[in-house]
């Protein structure tokens, strides 16, 4: 069984390659829920939905979120009523949030709601929220503290950040099955997601970081930074604002206690020795996933990196 720690779009793209290589039933996703928020009274769980829609083959590929060919009539009608419309909830996407919210109101857990959605969408991968309890990613800016979607979508990530906090994390518990999956996994992949605001909230749930530390030898991380730029989203900007280097080497510094291997892009081959000096193995391959062939190749590279070192064909050490 392979466990994947996942944020949104980057993780979902990686997973769409992984399911071509590993049977869905043998994959467990631990999903970030720090982005979750209430819109119009509905519980929206963006990273969970991005992964579910992608695995179901229903995602809008261009945006990376939402459902393909969805319409926005309800949102327009809400706008006419004076309601906020900056978060684009499609008409069919709304069904997901209505169903999840109804289940939560009937005292089902977020895990149960996620499993119900996965089943309805025909997704066989086990998608687990990191926690059934509320953990909210909040960003410190000159405008004060902003909720994650407010920062990212409403304000277009324009504010410089001076800190990140995960409200509720201290008292949250890992969702049922998360720690067991990490302990039982043959391999763990930290997807090419934002380490600060996608993987960070998962690690902030007490117990998860410790379980991962114990599984370090079986863990590989994929750098979401390529040639000093983020594959997607505001990661490069955030690292710079927090005084960190914008490079795959910085990713290595963030994950060195959790993962034995870091997968770097070909463009960052020069950093391999510095990564090794930090105590991680470096595997170099193409990490930019444009089409399915590249996603599948990256999945193979991750699985190769999970094999013992002497079998690691992509590693710099064996060249
Ligand atoms: N991202 C946007 O940039 N703009 C949106 O209007 C937006 C709507 C949205 C609706 C449902 C959903 O599941 C995701 C949505 N996202 C939107 C993506 C989301 O804000 C982020 O990409 C994730 O939170 C980060 O992984």
Tell me the C-alpha distance between 113 and 97, whole Å: 10
Quick check: 226 pLDDT over 90?
Answer: yes
Tell me the C-alpha distance between 189 and 123, whole Å: 19
Alpha carbon nearest to ligand 1 atom 12, residue: 46
Give the mean model confidence (pLDDT) for residues 295-316: 75
CA 65 to ligand 1 centroid distance, Å: 6
Give the mean model confidence (pLDDT) for residues 172-198: 98
Give the mean model confidence (pLDDT) for residues 254-278: 97
Nearest CA to 65 out of 45, 83, 85 is that of 45
CA 184 to ligand 1 centroid distance, Å: 32
- Backbone dihedral angles phi then psi of residue 297, each to the nearest 5 degrees: -60, -40
pLDDT for residue 319: 36
CA 281 to ligand 1 centroid distance, Å: 34
CA 46 to ligand 1 centroid distance, Å: 6
% of the chain at pLDDT higher than 90? 95
pLDDT for residue 309: 47
Unique residue bearing structure tokens 């409200």? 167
pLDDT for residue 308: 60
The tens digit of pLDDT for each residue in 99-144 reads 999 999 999 999 999 999 999 999 999 999 999 999 999 999 999 9
The tens digit of pLDDT for each residue in 8-20 reads 999 999 999 999 9
Instruction: Name all residues whose Cβ lies below 6 A of ligand 1.
Output: 7-8, 35, 44, 46-47, 49-50, 65-66, 87-89, 93, 149, 152-153
Structural domain boundaries in the chain: 2-133+170-316
The tens digit of pLDDT for each residue in 159-179 reads 999 999 999 999 999 999 999
Quick check: 259 pLDDT over 60?
Answer: yes
Helix-helix angle 9-18:46-55, to 10 degrees: 30
- How sure is the predictor about 311, in pLDDT bands with cuts at 50, 70 and 90? very low
2-133+170-316 — its CATH code?
Answer: 3.40.50.10680
CA–chain centroid gap for 187, Å, is 17
- Residue 58 in tokens: 């229903």
Strand order in the sheet with 144-147: 144-147, 136-141, 161-167
End-to-end C-alpha distance for the chain, whole angstroms = 29
| Mutation test residue for ligand 1: of 87, 101, 129, the one with most atoms within 8 Å of CB | 87
Quick check: 209 pLDDT over 70?
Answer: yes
CA–chain centroid gap for 24, Å, is 18
Helix (H, G, I), strand (E, B) or coil at 157: coil
CA 158 to ligand 1 centroid distance, Å: 16
């Amino acid at each position: 069984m392979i466990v994947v720690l996942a944020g949104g779009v980057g993780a979902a793209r990686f997973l769409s390659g992984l399911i071509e290589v590993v049977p869905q039933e043998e994959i467990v996703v631990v999903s970030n829920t720090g982005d979750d928020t209430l819109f119009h009274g509905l519980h929206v769980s963006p990273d969970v939905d991005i992964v579910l829609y992608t695995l179901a083959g229903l995602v809008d590929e261009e945006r990376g979120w939402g459902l393909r060919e969805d319409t926005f009539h309800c949102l327009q009608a809400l706008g006419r009523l004076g309601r906020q419309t900056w978060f684009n909830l499609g008409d069919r996407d709304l069904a997901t949030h209505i169903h999840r919210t109804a289940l939560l109101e009937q005292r089902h857990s977020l895990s149960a709601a996620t499993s119900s959605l996965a089943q309805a969408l025909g997704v066989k991968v086990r998608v687990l929220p990191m926690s059934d309890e509320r953990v909210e990613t909040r960003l410190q800016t000159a405008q004060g503290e902003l909720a994650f979607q407010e920062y990212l979508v409403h304000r277009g990530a324009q504010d410089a950040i001076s800190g990140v906090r995960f409200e509720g994390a201290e008292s949250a518990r890992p969702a049922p099955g998360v720690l067991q999956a990490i302990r039982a996994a043959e391999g763990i992949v930290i997807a090419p997601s934002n380490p600060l605001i996608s993987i960070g909230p998962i690690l902030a749930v007490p117990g998860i970081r410790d379980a991962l530390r114990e599984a370090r030898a079986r863990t590989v991380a994929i750098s979401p930074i390529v040639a000093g730029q983020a594959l997607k989203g505001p990661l490069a900007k955030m690292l710079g604002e927090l005084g960190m280097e914008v490079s795959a080497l910085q990713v290595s510094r963030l994950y060195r206690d959790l993962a034995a291997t870091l997968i770097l892009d070909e463009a960052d081959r020069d950093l391999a020795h510095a990564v090794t000096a930090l105590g991680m193995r470096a595997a170099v391959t193409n990490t930019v996933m444009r089409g399915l062939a590249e996603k599948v190749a990256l999945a193979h590279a991750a699985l190769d990196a999970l094999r013992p070192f002497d079998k690691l064909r992509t590693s710099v050490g064996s060249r």
